Structure 1
């Protein structure tokens, strides 16, 4: 044994070990393997062994030996030659690593949140008990498989199915990412899970794998859904109460003035005055329904390509007319156009400017800025798609909005003002949303608020709307009116006859089609057909026009509605209509339409 070997087993000298058997120093659990290796060597074989032994001074050792037979000149095996190295440090390091891994695994297995490590091929390298329990599979059936096969029960990655993938985002960006996913549980029920992905990087900064935590939030999610439903019901209750209050006030004016007009029949001038006041109350009712329709999905914008310069200028001047509040406008050169309903966007700007004015009762300055911006994509602060937008910022230095009220400012009929209707911001929010944009608010109590309006921009020249000249009545027309409300049929019949035209009515689309066919067959066809868009329990105008166009490709049809979730009113010509009437309309509006089509 050389000096290195003596030091390895803690021997002072060769005399201390020469001629003695090393076998008793070998740990008991390795003695059979050690003995077997020695026997193999004397049978002419070579071999290796990692084993544990105790040094002469009592220190535990881990050794690695490579043993070969040593032969004499006759070829007989006479000795065993062993080359041995001390691997104690390596084995202790491996032991500590194994203990650390077991410790970490035990910690992860005790938590109720799913945990996996995933490589670039989306294969699961390791997973804790909570994740395996969520999937209903033993861990050995989970590790090594694709995460989408286990979590989504799918044969391709979840992002190819249109879902956002936190792991993919972490690999791509090198930053943590979180998403909400729907997974199928072991009993077939849907689980809502929050997945968070954290990148693991090598020394060069490259992402080699991703830690993904999967937290089952199904109960929390369902409770939140119930809470939102409750909030919606409360909001609907507030909305219904507000509508009833406003309409009852307006109807009070209508009924009051009409009842007084009946008592003044001997005074024509006073009667007309009373009816004019009743008409004014009705027009206010119309404005209220327009706001409510815009707040709902019925206020579909009639879009044209517009430049915002004049819209901003005219809207702020109108909103602040008669106010002590001043305004400043700063519009970037080269401001892009937008495709929008000019009237609705004007309403948005007016509503927000009026709020700014009311937030500064002692007067102040409203600052309006408009500029082009480029949005990189969805974010928590501004959930807008990638693209170019026009940003209109409306800033005041008024009282500001308390933080606890910020989540409610766009709710219908929510207001902190004595004279406010509570519909201005709710309507504005819906208008901008229907245009593919959004409104964002920053406010600090005592310092003021800034409302940011984002509208998708387009690089196009503004198109001036061409209004056709109104033609005079050249002849008496024959008109077919379809509406499911009897009162609408009655009043329209009187107005049309009063204009000197012939009129027939139908209650639904099927009846209108049949009457139109008979009129054609008789040789006395209808000149104009007015179709109600929405008919309860029957065929409405959108379906009726298709059948009428089959009967007569030149049919002059007009669509009429007071409410619709479809975009038919805003794009009536592409549906086959020649014009549209928005309820309520008066005799003059009806006359202009008939004259133009005749």
Structure 2
């Protein structure tokens, strides 16, 4: 006897199909939501990676480029060895020269990627290197300043006696032209020594800047005019109207006068002498600041001399005390700022000054 064949209830089939369709639609909606979230997370990750203050390159095992957050590359050229994304890159500290001629310092690190290849990062350490150099220089200058102050105090008393006796000698020899000339030279020499002692004591004294807002454009124009530069050398002031430093105007005037006098002396043999002032807004240790550059197209400074320009009693010019730039360095350090010089023989010199801006400026 044949068993009767049973057929599924159409209503059950319809209910099962509807449940299957609903589950499919739910899964499709979940899938699309997850895809949207993934796309959003990828976009946020890309934004973060592009915003990090260092460059990243992910290279395949064959050296091919898989990913970078700097698709346009870096502005400037590497002074030694190939670029970080090229074979044979040496790693470590790298120097890059920008189109404007400024030299930047980067730290290159290389590590293996989890699934093969190499991850290369390049971080700008120019600020940290310059700060470290300035701190080392300030320690050395402070020690030299203490020694100079001790010597100046020891010399000052006998020097005062020499000044007194040389003055008396000039008076006593008023009727004897020959000996009088020698006495006057002695008096001038004592005067120069006295001035050097005074400068040494000024260099060694503690600085306590009285801070206030300084509008850079009129400030430098005033100093420029006071040095008669307007008549002697063409100059161009590209400093923006809103540029402002937080500093002691009297101390910074000393810095400005010294730097401008050096620039004028460097331009003595230039065919078409020119001095240019410019400033850009930056951040110094996370705080807003203005980075001012004072450039001349004069004779430049030899590389071996450039390393010594901030040393007391060192001068690239004949005459003078050699304390000008050392004093400038101490004033800028007392302000918590940054001072450094770039120069090339036959192409001129650029002095960089970075000081904080007033809050809210």
TM-score, normalization: structure 2?
Answer: 0.50
Bigger radius of gyration: 1
Q: Which has the higher contact order (CA 8 A, sep 6+)?
A: 2
